[in-house]
Structure formats: C-alpha cells, structure tokens
Amino acid sequence: MRTRTLYVAITYHGYGHIAQTAPVVNALCARRPDLRVVVESAAPRAVLSKHFHVSFDHVECGTDFGMVMHDSLNVDAPASHARYLAQLVGWEDAIEASLNRLRRQRPSLLLGNVPYIPLLAARRYGCPAIALCSLNWAEIYLPYCASSQGAAEVHAHLLEAYASAHAFIRPAPSMPMASLANGLGVGPIARIGRRDPAHLKACLGLAAGTRVVAVFMGGVPTPLPLARWPRTEGVHWLVGGSDCPERPDMTPLDRSGLPYIDIVTSCDALITKPGYGGFTEAACNAIPVLYVERDGWPESPHLVDWLTRHARCLALDRAALTTGAVMARLRQLWAMPSRPAVSPGGIAQAAERLAAALGE
C-alpha cells in the first residue's frame, strides 16, 4: 500500500496562514506518523521550518498573493485588482500547472490555507480537498475592488474555487463566510509558548523589574518611526518586522535567540495589528494586547470582537504608533483585570477532520 501524502498549499501573505496551518499538520502527523507531507508555498523553507515540526518536502511556489500591501496596515487596492485580472486571463493555465504538481506528488488529500487554484486542481486530479482559514480571498478582495471593472467575474471565480472544497474549516475567530455552504466551525488555533520572563530578561541583559513590550505588525514589512519614540524608565521594546533603531531601550525581536512564541509569551504586552495569529496566540497565552486598527480590512471586526471577549486588549490610535505616545494606553491595559488563557481547541478538531478525510 502506497504511503498517504498530505499536500498543503499555503498563501504567503505574511506569516499568519503558515501559523494557522502548521499546528494542525503537526497534530495530524502525531496521529499519523506514516503520513508524508508536502508543503507548497512561496515562503522560504527556513520560515516554514520554524512552524512545521515534522519532516516535509517543499514545493517553493505560490499560486496566489492575497492582496498587494503598502504595509501591514494598508492595502493597495488598484494593484491588487490588476493582479487578479491578470490572473483571470491565465486561469486555466494556472490550474493545469497546479494539476501537474499534484500529479508529481500523488496526494491523498489536499489542505489549502487558503489559495484557490490548488482546490480546483485537486478536483480535477480526483483527490479530496479541504480549505482551512479564518478568511477567504473572495471576501477580502470584493470590498476593496467591487466598483472596479471585472470585479464581479474575479469574485465569482474565487468563490467557485472555495465552494469546490469538501469542507472549509473556519477556526474561531473567523469571517462569517455566509456565501459558502461548506463551512465547518472549530475552536481557535494557536501556538502555546513557554512563559519565562526572567529567562527572556536574562537573555537581553535587562534588570528583573523591567517591563518588556513586543512591537510586531506581522510578516508584511512595516516601517515605524521608532527612533522618535520617547524613552520610558523601566520599559524595554522588542521590535520585530521593522528596522530597530540603535537605542539601549530597543532590541530586535529575534536577537534573544529564543523562539518567537516563547519571546512574546514572556513579554508584558504586545503591540500589533488585528491579525489571526497575533490575536489567537495572545489570547491563548494570556498576553495583553494593544492593537492598531486596519481600516477597511473585512476580517478585522470579527478578530477585534473575539479578542475583546477573551483577552485584555485596547485599541491604539495610529497617531500614537507614529509618535510613540503609547505609555498611557499601556498603563490602562495593565490595570485591566487578568483573563484566563483560551484553549486552542481548534487544533485537535481540525486534525480530526483531516484524519477522517484521509481514512485508514
């Protein structure tokens, strides 16, 4: 009997889709150690290996791009629409190319988070396909580009692809996706870190009483004017995803040598944008959050509503992020009652659904 192969196709739009997928695949492989895993993504293998704790073959390519971003907070809608129109012209060729990759790998099941072309290729190949994501690109794209010529056709093609999946697993918190009939809700998905503030401060050479705050806007590069931020006695900033100034109160997030999730879990607060991975990891590790709104991003209201119900969090004005006037808001955040950590129950639930689809 041939080895069963799981083909995992992941959008490389920052790190969130990788962080959402890898815990489920890791859990599935713990149940099915015989499973061969192939990961198709434009993400470098070094990035994927930080999340996937199992052996995998890497097909380094991507069939989708999500949305074109100016930075993590701002979408370039005209450029996004132009890319979707160009993709529509080569739609059939893209499906055939994806189908040829599947033929070479001979998958038993395709898992997509959340590119659409591989879902259609899987249907032609004849293997079941399951989507897993808190969003879909059809419902992200349309609010930005609905008034552009050809948008309805693009939207219809994307929806058709997502509807072709045997199931669309929606981990909490997710967009409602009312236009898709194949939705399957599960609990949150998040990595659990090792909380050790003393060890983190020792690695950074900080005094025991120092408050450490992570500033990380996600995997899309986002320049921040951190050199302008005022210094605050007893507060140290860990900076990720942006150039870190040469200041004694600021350190690049990766300089400690610890895994990202252990670093953030050991911090006193996280300053970030609304994003699935950042929000669920904060709630599941009981990390207080200041978030900067992503104006117009359709997923944001659902993420913010969920985090508000499950964790200590407050909105942060964009102007405060520019000037560094964040301490008043941080003190308000730290004065809020603590909240218990949320269980990432969606990992086991999603892995069980995938195991059932793979069969014996």
Verify cis geometry, omega within 30 degrees of 0, for the bond prior to 114. yes
> What is the arithmetic mean of pLDDT over 106-135?
98
Answer yes or no: is 301 within a domain: yes
Amino acid at 190: A
Answer yes or no: is 70 within a domain: yes
Whether residues 149 and 46 share a domain: the answer is yes
pLDDT class of 2 with cuts at 50, 70, 90: low
Residue 333 has pLDDT above 50, yes or no: yes
Q: Alpha-carbon torsion 321, 18, 348, 111, what sign?
A: positive
The CA-CA-CA angle for residues 348, 354, 355, to 5°, reads 85
Residue 206 has pLDDT above 60, yes or no: yes
- Output the pLDDT for position 1: 43
Answer yes or no: is 62 within a domain: yes
Residue 3 has pLDDT above 90, yes or no: no
Whether residues 147 and 164 share a domain: the answer is yes
Answer yes or no: is 174 within a domain: yes
Whether residues 243 and 330 share a domain: the answer is yes
Answer yes or no: is 185 within a domain: yes
Whether residues 176 and 37 share a domain: the answer is yes
Whether residues 204 and 156 share a domain: the answer is no
For the stretch 335-349, pLDDT in tens is 999 999 999 999 999
Whether residues 10 and 70 share a domain: the answer is yes
Distances (CA, A) of 205 to 194, 196, 208, 210: 19, 14, 9, 10
Distance from CA of residue 251 to its chain's centroid?
24
For the chain, how big is the Rg over CA atoms in Å?
A: 21
Whether residues 258 and 167 share a domain: the answer is no
Whether residues 15 and 128 share a domain: the answer is yes
- Output the pLDDT for position 360: 67
- Output the pLDDT for position 243: 85
Output the pTM of the full model: 0.97
Whether residues 94 and 215 share a domain: the answer is no
Answer yes or no: is 260 within a domain: yes
What is the tally of structural domains in the chain?
A: 2
How far, in Å, CA of 317 to CA of 320, rounded? 5
Answer yes or no: is 340 within a domain: no
Collapse the DSSP code of 121 into the 3-class scheme (helix H, G, I; strand E, B; otherwise coil) and give the result.
Answer: helix
For the stretch 151-203, pLDDT in tens is 999 999 999 999 999 999 999 999 999 999 999 999 999 999 999 999 999 99
| Pick from 224, 243, 237: nearest CA to 264 | 237
> What is the arithmetic mean of pLDDT over 118-134?
98
For the stretch 256-286, pLDDT in tens is 889 999 999 999 999 999 999 999 999 999 9
Give the range of the structural domain holding residue 106, as residue numbers without chain letter: 5-189+345-358
How far, in Å, CA of 210 to CA of 83, rounded? 47
Whether residues 172 and 305 share a domain: the answer is no
For the stretch 25-64, pLDDT in tens is 999 999 999 999 999 999 999 999 999 999 999 999 999 9
> What is the arithmetic mean of pLDDT over 313-331?
96
For the stretch 71-115, pLDDT in tens is 999 999 999 999 999 999 999 999 999 999 999 999 999 999 999
Whether residues 108 and 238 share a domain: the answer is no
Whether residues 243 and 170 share a domain: the answer is no
Work out the mean pLDDT of the chain and round it to a whole number.
Answer: 97
Helix (H) or strand (E) holding 109: strand 109-113
Answer yes or no: is 21 within a domain: yes
CATH number (domain holding residue 276): 3.40.50.2000
In eight-state DSSP terms, residue 338 is P
* Contact assessment for residue 35 and residue 6, using Cβ atoms and an 8 Å cutoff: yes
